[in-house]
Amino acid sequence: ALLLMELGIYRLLEETLGIFSIIAMAWLCTISADLFINKPLGLAPPGIEFKRAHLYDINPVGLGAMTLSATLSLIAHFGAFGEIAASLAPYITLVIALVASPAIAWTTKGKFYLARKPRQSWKKLTSITCSVCEHAFEPEDMAWCPAYSAPICSLCCSLDSRCHDMCKPAARFNAQVGTVAKTLLSESIVGKLTTRLGRYCIAVALALTAIGAILAMIAHQVSSASPETAEVVNRTILIVFFVFSVISGVVCWFYVLAHDSRVVAEEESSRQNTLLLKEIAAHKKTDAALQNAKETAEAANRAKSRYVVGLSHELRTPLNAVLGYAQILERDETIPAPRQSSIKVIRRSAEHLSGLIDGLLDISKIEAGRLQVYSNEINIQDFLDQIVEMFRPQAQAKGLTFTHDRSPALPQFVRTDEKRLRQILVNLLSNAIKFTDEGRVTFDVGYRSQVATFTVTDTGRGITEKDLTRIYEPFQRGEADSVRPMPGLGLGLTITRLLTNTLGGEIAVSSVKDEGSTFRVRLMLSAVMRAAAPPQEKRIVGYDGPRRTVVVVDDNEDHREMMREILAPLDFIVLTAAGGTECLTLIEGIMPDLFLVDILMPGMSGWQLVSRLREAGQTAPMLMLSANIGDAAVLSDSDDSHNDAIGKPVDIRQLRDKLALHLGLTWVYADAAPIIAEKPQAPMLSPGAAHVRELLRLGEIGYIRGIEAKLSDLAKAEANRPFTEALRAYVAAFDLAGFMTFLHDFDEKVESIG
């Protein structure tokens, strides 16, 4: 205490506290005047607003009254108005604050109290969640933030400085000072003050003023305490002032530069944020448009799929009759031999059309992602014989060597999806023959540990290394500039890989450019142990045992009659019904041995009929028939009331196999026809240049019936038979490109020989 008194610090503290008391008095009196005078008189809004988002940075009423009262009181405190005024300085503060506050409020009409009004719609709410801290507050604590476009609490609003008071741009300190400056100063002066140099001068002036005021107060206090040292103290204070002036000048310059850099960075950040928000908004619009386009495309795709399924069903119904009767007539020995070739053309054409419909449905199912496979027992030996018999003539007609080898371990019967396996092998073999101009095509089948390996090798043009990665892509066609264009849509290998994967297998390819390609497919083919069927070349005339009754239920009369034509010659008793109700009436009191039921029928569907038959006590096997058996069967996977399914068009051999399986039949065969020794192949002679040109013309316009008629006319001459048979192989496969190539090559050979 003695030390404080000796140093004079106690007296300095006394003086300092006196000054602070005057400032505190000015602040408290200003608040009191605002609450007890301005608000009752209506000079200020009735409520008390504390949210920064709703207040001006500077309120002239409070700040002006406090500054005026504090300034005059401090002047009086330092003795400018005499000793009495100095002793009454706090009272002077009180009087001036109580007078100045309402006076300024009346002058400004109280417009600087609120920068904006709270939302009226929030008055009825009990709580509002802050978008920043996610806490709930009363409406009085909340404000609407345009920066977040959401409510924000007063605390988060005070702590967040990134928005730069977007909610009250005219109520910021800079804006208010600028408004006052424009009122007091000319526009040119204001413009100069807003430049970097002008702002630097203002900052230096404020810094020097603050430093000078502080040093002046220190000099005054020290001079009053010891007048004898006043001159030395004043000189020292002046030196300190100049030193701090230099330092403050440098600091202010760096401050102005830092401020400008921050403003530029914030403007750039704001600009980039604006661009980002615009881009996000644009992406949202694009995403919405893409979503709408996707939904539209999916709706169109679903409509297309429904149309394709419906169209295929309508096409298969008459095609079933065409193919069925073609198979019946082909086995009819009473038909003259010259007409047998025409019937074979009808059957092949119907099978080709059926294959086109299957491919169309497969594409639709692939796009919809709902391709299904079904496991059935097939005679793999007969199946492979059919494949070989189908492609060997095509290869020979093109001048290729076709070799086939199968493993002795391959069983007679296996379980797989015959239709899908046929598609895989047909696609691979047709590609091999199509893209091979000379050499050979090899088709090998291996079997080990229930896994079959199908290998197709050719000596064709091969596949380049870069094309190996895209041959399985849709609509990719193997073409080259130096060869003729190949027919097809480029979906063969795509469907092949998809079917292989769906069957649980794998496909691999190896190829060398201009040397050939090898495709290898590995599939799980479970062996089925059952007695081998007799040779299929023999004609079935009946079966051992009592006569069996088969009920055919189909709304299509042609199909009912066709099934009668197929089954009646085999000694079956065939009963037909046009619908489910008629079938239930027909079988009252009888127990048929087997039912053939169409799935899609008006009124009662096939599935409903099967359920009714089971409820009625019918235990006979029930085979479902449909043009869309692949799709309809899926709907009844959980229903075990039926025993099997057959697709339309009906294959007679498959139908007989199903009947033998479910009825336990033993077929009775007719005596085998005598084997005729194969005649040596006659040399292929030209029918004449005119006939060749006529065939070329028919091939160019794609007139199949005209080509068939022309070949039949040429075949009347025995010498033309080898020539016509070679061309019939192309016509049977609808390979017009190969047909044209064969004729061109044949014509060139004839000319070179001539």
DSSP string, 322-381: HHHHHHHHHT-TTS-HHHHHHHHHHHHHHHHHHHHHHHHHHHHHHHHT------EEEEHH
Position 11 scores a pLDDT of 61
Question: Of 449, 453, 455, 454, which is closest to residue 526 (Cα–Cα)?
Answer: 449
Burial (CB < 10 A; 0-12, 13-18, 19+), residue 23, is middle
Query: Is 343 in contact with 323 (CB distance < 8 Å)?
Result: no
Query: What is the mean pLDDT for each group of 10 consecutive residues in the chain (754 residues)?
Result: 53 73 90 90 84 84 90 86 86 91 89 83 87 89 86 86 78 78 81 86 92 85 76 87 92 91 86 90 93 89 76 74 78 72 73 70 65 79 86 83 90 88 87 87 92 92 78 58 44 77 88 88 86 56 87 87 86 89 87 89 87 88 76 47 81 85 85 44 70 83 78 80 79 73 71 50
Radius of gyration (Cα) for the chain, nearest Å? 51
C-alpha separations of 457 from 49, 254, 409, 443, 464 in Å: 90, 82, 21, 7, 16
Please say whether the beta carbons of 80 and 136 come within 8 A. no
Q: Which amino acid does the sequence have at 63?
A: L
Length of the chain measured in residues: 754
| pLDDT reported for residue 684 | 66
Phi-psi region of 407 (alpha: psi -120 to 50; beta: other; left: phi over 0): beta
- Asked if residues 474 and 494 have their Cβ atoms less than 8 Å apart, the reply is yes
From the number of C-beta atoms within 10 Å of its C-beta (0-12, 13-18, 19+), residue 159 rates as: exposed
Rounded distance between C-alpha atoms, residue 385 and residue 445, angstroms: 12
Which segments of 48-153 are extended strands (E)? Answer: 128-129, 136-137, 142-145, 150-153
Contact 648, 626 (CB under 8 A): yes
- CB-CB contact of 518 with 511 (8 Å): yes
Q: How many CB atoms lie within 10 A of CB 138?
A: 12
Return d(Cα 500, Cα 228) in angstroms, integer: 112
CB of 495 closer than 8 Å to CB of 427: yes
User: Rounded to whole angstroms, how far apart are CA atoms 469 and 607?
Assistant: 45
Task: Provide the pLDDT for residue 538.
Answer: 66
The residue among 123, 131, 121, 169 whose CA lies nearest residue 153 is 131
Asked if 740 and 699 count as a contact pair (C-beta separation under 8 A), the reply is yes
pLDDT at residue number 633:
43
| pLDDT of the residue at 522 | 94
Query: Which residues are within 8 A (CB) of 593 and not within 5 positions of it... i.e. 6 or more apart?
Result: 548, 549, 550, 620, 621, 663
Nearest residue to 533 (alpha-carbon basis) of 667, 654, 658: 667
For residue 115, the tally of other CB atoms under 10 A from its CB is: 22
The residue behind tokens 């084997």 is 675
Alpha-carbon distance of 510 to 457, in angstroms, equals 10
d(CA 11, CA 7): 9
Are the C-beta atoms of residues 58 and 176 closer than 8 Å to each other?
yes
The predicted structure's pLDDT at residue 458? 92
| Crossing angle for the helix pair 9-33 and 196-225, to the nearest 10 degrees | 130
pLDDT at 480: 46
- Which tokens is 222 given? 């020290």
Q: Are strands 526-527 and 516-524 parallel, antiparallel or unpaired?
A: unpaired
Domains and CATH numbers, the chain: 1-116 (no CATH), 376-527 (3.30.565.10), 539-669 (3.40.50.2300), 689-753 (no CATH)
Angle formed at CA 659 by CA 387 and CA 340, multiple of 5 degrees: 50
Q: How distant, in Å, are the alpha carbons of 339, 549, 570, 574 from that of 565? A: 20, 14, 9, 9
pTM strictly above 0.75: no
User: What DSSP designation does 36 have?
Assistant: I
